[in-house]
């Protein structure tokens, strides 16, 4: 027991008392009764008992497998490799390859001579690499990391659906996969999952689609409304699943490579932060300065959720006499867990009471099918004290375990059941519950939270009750847990091959999206699409020309004011995205402008992070790096913005370094906007300010007045009054 207590010692053990509250009131009209009755029926559905899991001493048979202990102590294994391909025009394509040790090996026949991307190659097997994630870095053709910009992220298994998949994705209430797509185009480049240089476009496209849905499609009746909303949901879910998988791959790659990663910490956090925000309505327009904070907060949330679910599931396994075994990702993080029952306990404890709270599976002690179980089993060995061992030991015992269920530990509030080895439809019914409720209410009954007060009240009560009581119905989607499970099964070879195959088969049945493909098909698609992407990168007029168009579009905010950009954005919206304004400049001139603009953005972001992170700058940050950024801002002050001005002023307040404070004042003088001069005036009027700094700030204010820099009239009067009193 001490083993898996120490593995997760960093997580707090949470116990929450859940209460339920139902509100009901008789209606006066038929529509009110029908509306509220629909939501109330949902809330009154039978659920598991509400008794909290109690902390009990661990019985000797409740422990993790010896294989997990061995995996935790084993020497780290290299799962990933990075390949860099130069792209014409000053860019590079970085691709993370992974060994899919979990997939079965399919050796080619002797004497076969097949291309690495040939159609006859079916799937990568043990020790064979498969391209997973590709990222385009626009370097402008130099070695200065300050002017680099990350652009596209490709998840190589993310592909355009086949014709059959497209048709199936518009069928309402079709919650299942159809035939897999076997091969991708060798000539057409694959679709990217996100454009890091233009994430705001996703926000506009989402609102444009929402407007089309409500204004154009919904008035045409139930069929059109249902098919379009179903297609939209399936498309978003398919993209989000691959974004989550890309996130998991990047996290594993970062944990494996550490300081030797090809990406700087800032780049890695930008990629991961943007991917995390992709499912938020306004996530695409979040400022870059907040990405690091959001990334760290999200990691803490996920770890807390994982630790809470680990402890909750372990306690329930102890209380019910089951065996708890965590499943580890290649970086050692437990993301899933298996529950077993011992065959020898089925007859001995046949009369044992059963409390299925949080487990959400049928009583195994009264299930006669388990007594005649012919499916896969696992054998575990224990010593005389119940500690797991790799091999049988003298005085110990061996136990034959029958798998009951597999759970995801990253699901909010409760461990979510992903595989039920006795009832394959059990997880799917729970996954379908929330989506079915929403689609029936919105598409069939035409109920809306924003248009019907009684439905809003009923759904609010039901959502609160199910969420607060931890019911595994009407819960957030298991999409993240299933995505991580597929990745775990692909990368990890620690599972028994038969067990891995059984889990994969059952997990694929739970998939609700017709656009999804199975793991072996995704491996083939990844190879096909990577070959197409490489060919596109090397083709004249291919990826290099696309980068050049993107650079011309990037020049727009550097050469136009806010009013012009608003007009360009409006033209883009009215044309449904067909029109995009791009500057007509020579490549050399454009690169010079982009170099200056990107470097300024780099230092602006760095200064904003410094100003928000600590009350004493020199304690946490290298003060010379801060000075270098302040010097660059001062040299290019005419193009700095108000946010940079506030950052420089905050750094002045949070440092005791004399040179850094003088650089802050110099930067505020050189930044030609009203905010900078207002901050400079505020510093000048600060009580107790050093006399030399007060004099220097007064000189800068006087110079700004003589140079007729942009200053508010009220601030100008205050400056004159302040200087007149010197």
Instruction: Note the pLDDT of residue 478.
Output: 85
Structure tokens at 434: 């929330």
pLDDT of 165-224, one tens digit each?
A: 999 999 999 998 888 998 888 889 999 999 999 888 888 888 888 888 878 787 877 888
pLDDT band at 538 (very low <50, low <70, confident <90, very high): very high
Average pLDDT of 479-499? Answer: 84
Instruction: Note the pLDDT of residue 33.
Output: 38
Q: Residue 513: left if φ>0, alpha if ψ -120 to 50, beta else—which one?
A: beta
β-strands 149-155, 194-195: how paired? antiparallel
Give the chain's mean pLDDT.
Answer: 81
Q: Residue 543 pLDDT > 50, yes or no?
A: yes
Average pLDDT of 448-457? Answer: 77
Instruction: Note the pLDDT of residue 47.
Output: 34
Between 348 and 528, the higher pLDDT residue: 528
Phi, psi dihedrals of residue 182, rounded to the nearest 5°:
-90, -35
Structure tokens at 563: 């009013």
Q: Residue 1 pLDDT > 60, yes or no?
A: no
C-alpha to C-alpha distance for 201 and 576, rounded to whole angstroms: 11
C-alpha to C-alpha distance for 408 and 305, rounded to whole angstroms: 11
Beta carbons of 124 and 527 less than 8 angstroms apart: yes
Q: Residue 137 pLDDT > 80, yes or no?
A: yes
Range in 195-199, 241-245, 288-292, 668-672 with the lowest mean pLDDT: 288-292
Q: Residue 480 pLDDT > 60, yes or no?
A: yes
Q: Residue 31 pLDDT > 60, yes or no?
A: no
Range in 158-162, 317-321, 353-357, 465-469 with the lowest mean pLDDT: 465-469
Beta carbons within 10 angstroms of residue 514's beta carbon: 25
Q: Residue 259 pLDDT > 70, yes or no?
A: yes
Average pLDDT of 457-462? Answer: 82
Average pLDDT of 623-645? Answer: 91
Q: How many helices (H) and strands (E) does the chain have?
A: 26, 11
C-alpha to C-alpha distance for 272 and 194, rounded to whole angstroms: 11
Q: Residue 351 pLDDT > 90, yes or no?
A: no
């Amino acid at each position: 027991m001490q083993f898996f207590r120490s593995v997760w010692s960093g997580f707090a053990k949470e116990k929450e008392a859940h209460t339920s509250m139902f509100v009901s009131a008789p209606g006066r009209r038929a529509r009110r009764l029908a509306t509220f009755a629909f939501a109330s029926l949902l809330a009154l559905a039978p659920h598991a008992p509400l008794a909290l899991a109690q902390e009990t001493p661990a019985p000797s048979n409740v422990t993790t497998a010896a294989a997990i202990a061995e995996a935790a102590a084993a020497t780290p294994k290299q799962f990933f490799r990075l390949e860099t391909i130069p792209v014409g025009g000053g860019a590079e394509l970085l691709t993370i390859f992974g060994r899919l040790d979990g997939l079965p090996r399919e050796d080619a026949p002797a004497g076969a001579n097949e291309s690495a991307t040939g159609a006859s190659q079916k799937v990568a097997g043990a020790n064979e690499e498969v391209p997973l994630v590709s990222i385009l870095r626009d370097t402008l053709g130099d070695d200065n990391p300050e002017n680099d910009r990350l652009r596209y992220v490709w998840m190589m298994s993310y592909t355009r659906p086949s014709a059959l998949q497209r048709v199936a994705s518009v069928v309402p209430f079709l919650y299942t996969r159809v035939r897999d797509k076997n091969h991708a185009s060798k000539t057409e480049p694959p679709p990217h999952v996100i454009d890091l240089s233009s994430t705001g476009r996703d926000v506009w496209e989402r609102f444009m689609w929402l407007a089309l849905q409500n204004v154009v499609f919904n008035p045409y009746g139930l069929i059109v409304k249902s098919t379009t909303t179903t297609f939209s949901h399936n498309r978003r879910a398919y993209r989000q699943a691959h974004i989550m998988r890309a996130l998991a791959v990047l996290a594993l790659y970062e944990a494996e490579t550490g300081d030797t990663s090809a990406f700087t910490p800032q780049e890695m956090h930008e990629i991961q932060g943007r991917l995390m925000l992709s499912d938020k309505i306004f996530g695409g327009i979040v400022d870059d300065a907040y990405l690091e904070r959001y990334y760290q907060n999200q990691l803490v949330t996920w770890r807390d959720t994982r630790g809470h679910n680990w402890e909750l599931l372990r306690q329930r396994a102890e209380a019910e006499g089951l065996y708890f075994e965590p499943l580890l990702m290649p970086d050692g993080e437990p993301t899933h867990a298996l529950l077993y029952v011992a065959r020898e306990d089925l007859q001995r404890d046949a009369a044992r009471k059963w409390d299925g709270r949080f487990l959400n599976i049928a009583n195994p002690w009264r299930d006669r099918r388990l007594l005649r179980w012919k499916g896969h089993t696992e054998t575990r060995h224990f010593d005389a004290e119940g500690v797991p061992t790799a091999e049988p030991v003298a005085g110990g015992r061996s136990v034959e375990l029958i798998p009951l269920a597999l759970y995801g530990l990253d699901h909010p509030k409760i461990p979510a059941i992903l595989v039920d080895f006795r009832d394959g439809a059990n997880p799917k019914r729970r996954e379908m519950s929330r989506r079915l409720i929403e689609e029936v209410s919105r598409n069939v009954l035409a109920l809306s939270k924003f248009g019907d007060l009684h439905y809003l009240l009923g759904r609010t009560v039901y959502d609160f009750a199910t969420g607060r009581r931890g019911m595994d119905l009407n819960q957030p989607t298991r999409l993240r847990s299933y995505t991580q499970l597929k990745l775990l099964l692909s990368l990890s070879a620690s599972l028994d091959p038969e067990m891995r195959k059984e889990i994969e088969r059952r997990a694929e049945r739970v998939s609700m999206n017709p656009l999804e493909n199975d793991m072996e098909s995704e491996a083939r698609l990844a190879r096909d699409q990577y070959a197409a992407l490489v060919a596109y990168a090397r083709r004249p007029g291919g990826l290099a020309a696309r980068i050049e168009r993107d650079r011309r579009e990037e020049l727009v905010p550097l050469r136009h004011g806010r009013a012009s950009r608003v007009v360009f954005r409006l033209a883009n919206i009215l044309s449904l995205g067909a029109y995009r304004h791009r500057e007509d400049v020579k490549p050399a001139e454009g690169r010079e402008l982009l170099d200056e603009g990107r470097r300024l953005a780099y230092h602006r972001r760095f200064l904003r992070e410094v100003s928000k992170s600590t009350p004493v700058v020199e304690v946490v940050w290298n003060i010379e790096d801060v000075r270098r950024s302040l010097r660059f801002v001062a040299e290019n002050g005419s193009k700095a913005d108000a946010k940079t001005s506030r950052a420089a002023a905050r750094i002045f307040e949070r440092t005791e370094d004399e040179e850094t404070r003088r650089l802050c004042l110099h930067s505020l003088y050189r930044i030609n906007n009203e905010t900078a001069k207002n901050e400079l005036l505020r510093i000048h009027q600060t009580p107790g300010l050093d006399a030399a700094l007060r004099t220097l700030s007064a000189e800068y204010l006087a110079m700004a007045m003589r140079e007729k820099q942009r200053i508010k009239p009220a601030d100008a009067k205050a400056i004159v009054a302040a200087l007149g009193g010197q």
